[in-house]
């Protein structure tokens, strides 16, 4: 971990202030490329403009109108479920930060399309919780394999054993692991450029 920190430099973790919009972005991003997610998000923001992404603003639109920005039928239903539950007060994002990590996960996973991983990303990037370890994240598992010289992706138990020393700052360690993958991609691209 020390060599990653030396290579990456100071941590740059910033909390997302608009908690609802962060969850909408998380749903949009599921199982598609970063570029496709960004494009859909921009079209969705244009659809609601000049207003912001809020539960009430999204509930003004029909599923068909929301799908016109590139959302799948399934993701449209997830986003509308989030907007509806937030609007009705079943999910209270304004005060959710006062709750424990597991309580936040429990509340958010009541929304269709939000699983434990999405809730953990919310804890890290919306609430700024310092000690979240997303053990099921593929990038984290790949980085652990690469950095710790494992032959295969680590299972949950192995991941937690390796991550034990990172507590109470597992979120920061996870951020560095994601950055280590970025460094590897950059180094690989640089090597390919030099060989041509």
pLDDT in tens, 136-183: 999 999 999 999 999 999 999 999 999 999 999 999 999 999 999 888
Q: What is the pLDDT of residue 189?
A: 79
What distance in Å separates the CA atoms of residue 164 and residue 138, rounded to the nearest whole number? 18
**Fold adopted by 2-11+135-195:** Endonuclease Iii, domain 2 (1.10.1670)
- Enter the tokens of residue 73: 């039928």
The one catalytic residue among 51, 101, 137, 152 = 137
Instruction: Tell me the pTM.
Output: 0.85
The phi-psi region of residue 26 (left if phi > 0; otherwise alpha if psi is between -120 and 50; otherwise beta) is: alpha
- CATH 1.10.1670.40 residue ranges of the chain are 2-11+135-195
Query: Is 51 among the catalytic positions?
Result: no
Angle, alpha carbons 62-105-148 (nearest 5°)? 115
Enter the CATH code of domain 19-125.
1.10.340.30
Give the distance between the most distant pair of CA atoms in the chain.
58
Q: What is the DSSP letter of 90?
A: S
- CATH 1.10.340.30 residue ranges of the chain are 19-125
Over the chain, what is the mean pLDDT?
92
pLDDT in tens, 7-27: 888 888 788 889 999 999 999
């Amino acid at each position: 971990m020390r060599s990653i920190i030396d290579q990456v430099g100071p941590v740059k973790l910033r909390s997302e202030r608009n908690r609802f919009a962060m969850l909408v972005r998380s749903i949009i991003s599921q199982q598609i490329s970063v570029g496709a997610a960004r494009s859909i998000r921009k079209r969705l923001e244009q659809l609601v403009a000049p207003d912001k992404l809020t539960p009430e603003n999204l509930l003004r639109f029909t599923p068909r109108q929301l799908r016109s920005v590139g959302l799948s039928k399934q993701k449209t239903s997830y986003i509308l479920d989030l907007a509806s539950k937030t609007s009705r007060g079943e999910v209270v994002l304004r005060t959710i930060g006062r709750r424990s990590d597991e309580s936040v996960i429990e509340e958010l996973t009541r929304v269709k399309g939000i699983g434990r991983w999405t809730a953990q990303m919310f804890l890290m990037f919306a609430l700024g919780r310092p000690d979240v370890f997303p053990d099921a994240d593929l990038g984290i598992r790949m980085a652990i394999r690469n950095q710790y010289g494992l032959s295969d992706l680590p299972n949950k138990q192995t991941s937690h054993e390796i991550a034990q020393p990172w507590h109470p700052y597992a979120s920061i360690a996870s951020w560095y692991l994601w950055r280590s993958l970025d460094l590897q991609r950059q180094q690989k691209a640089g090597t390919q450029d030099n060989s041509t």
